[in-house]
Amino acid sequence: MTFYGLVGFTSATRPGAPRPAFPYTDLSMHRRTFLMSSGALIAATDKVRTGVIGSGGRGQLLTSEFKEIGAEMAAVCDVYEPNLQAGLKKASTGARGYSDYRRLLEDKTIDAVIVSSPDHWHARMAIDAVQAGKDVYIEKPMAHTIPEAFDIVTAVRRSKQIVQVGTQRRSSELFQQAQKLATSGRLGDIRLVTSQWLNRQDSLSSATLQGALDWNAWLGPAPKRELDATRFFNWYYYYDYSGGLLIGQAAHIVDAIQWFMNSKQPLAVTCSGGRANLKGAEVPETASIIMEFPENYMATFTLGYKAMKYHTSQDQIMQFHGSKARMDMGREGYRIYPETSGAVLTPEKEDMRIGSFVPATRDHIRNFLECVKTRQEPTAPVEGGLATAIVLCMTLDSLRSGRRLRWNAQTRRVES
């Protein structure tokens, strides 16, 4: 099972324990076949029965959004009792609660699951879900290690299940429009993409446990240690479970850059960071990544979460530096500046839609639910999640080793 602490989850399964098979009854097979072959009818008459694995802050938000858009939120799983109960309040009437995600996957009436657990559980849960015949909406980053990311792709393509990675910019009309402009030749040759995400976080959470927690299940594949409420509520900031704001925010930006530039994997990654200025955190909140790609361009991403506070419409930017024009892409708008000899840059095209980013998540969920019914490929497929996961995992390895790391696509190995 899984859950979010401050974003936590966990599975009540012990690593190495045997995993049950998930045979379908005739009824479940008939329902699945009907779902695959009669998408138009289903779209008009059926709700997709969905469960959430990991019912912390993000899991509860997604539960509410899925329910609002039309899914039946029929199951909630979390190893922390307060999160489980909070998730059930957000879910549909009659939803069942679980403390072990495998028991949820055995429910043959569930069509799809949301994996909103800590990063170190994403791969195992997603693979178990597709092998159980469930479609999956998986939060980013798709995996915590590179081998896990490849394992997810293999499992998804073998099972033919629908899997949507939670990089919602891909379902935003604004980003789709900008992506077409970036690939149209209008900007000229692009050899450099720069990006940054600036804001401020003052401290980690000081929350205390308010109910039962299966700590060993929450740890799962992570190194064993004594119960630590600080780690539980702030797992985002520890290498064993995630990669901090650096990975959480870069997951969105790196995915968008590779989508706009039609990249599949990097050539090399270098990351340098300052010391962690959030007391108790392992991962620094101030760092820069340099990425080299085989498509003959470089990209940078800088995270600065000890900067001044910004409105969310102004806290991030990607700049595509073409030989004919530059495109500045923010969270809620873009501008294209043509080359000029003048002292002032004036955009030749812009589209600013303040307030458009929150609906992007709903568009992403809507796309997923439609694909569950039609069996079409979603806007954020696992191959995109893989491309981003390779960069992000190399980022953490480079940050900790202090070295430029190269990616060998033939051997699927990182080389220094």
Per-residue pLDDT of the chain (416 residues; tens, 9 = 90+): 333 333 334 433 333 333 333 333 333 333 444 444 333 344 445 899 999 999 999 999 999 999 999 999 999 999 999 999 999 999 999 999 999 999 999 999 999 999 999 999 999 999 999 999 999 999 999 999 999 999 999 999 999 999 999 999 999 999 999 999 999 999 999 999 999 999 999 999 999 999 999 999 999 999 999 999 999 999 999 999 999 999 999 999 999 999 999 999 999 999 999 999 999 999 999 999 999 999 999 999 999 999 999 999 999 999 999 999 999 999 999 999 999 999 999 999 999 999 999 999 999 999 999 999 999 999 999 999 999 999 999 999 999 999 999 999 999 999 99
- Residue labelled with tokens 């779209």: 43
Domains and CATH numbers, the chain: 26-169+367-381 (3.40.50.720), 171-353+387-415 (3.30.360.10)
Parallel, antiparallel, or unpaired: how do β-strands 297-304 and 286-293 relate?
antiparallel
Among positive and negative, which fits the CA dihedral 367, 372, 376, 382?
Answer: positive
Match 């458009």 to its residue by tokens.
356
pLDDT of residue 138: 98
**Tokens 């300052």 identify what position?**
274
CB 135 within 8 A of CB 36: no
pLDDT at residue 1, as a whole number? 37
DSSP string, 342-391: SSS---SEEEE-TT-HHHHHHHHHHHHHHHHHH-PPPSS-HHHHHHHHHH
Name the helix (H) or strand (E) containing 192.
strand 190-198
Q: Is 392 in contact with 243 (CB distance < 8 Å)?
A: yes
Provide the Cα torsion 170, 176, 182, 186; round to 10°. Answer: 180
Q: What was the pLDDT predicted at 45?
A: 54
Contact between residue 331 and residue 316 where contact means Cβ atoms under 8 Å apart: yes
> What percentage of the chain's residues is helix, strand, coil (to nearest 5)?
40, 20, 40
Query: 375 and 235 in contact (C-beta within 8 Å)?
Result: no
Tokens 């490929």 sit at which residue?
Answer: 377
pLDDT given for residue 46 in this prediction:
85
- pTM for this entry: 0.89
Q: Please name which of 234, 308, 239, 177 lies closest in space to residue 56, comparing C-alpha atoms.
A: 234
Closest CA to 58 of 83, 23, 36: 83
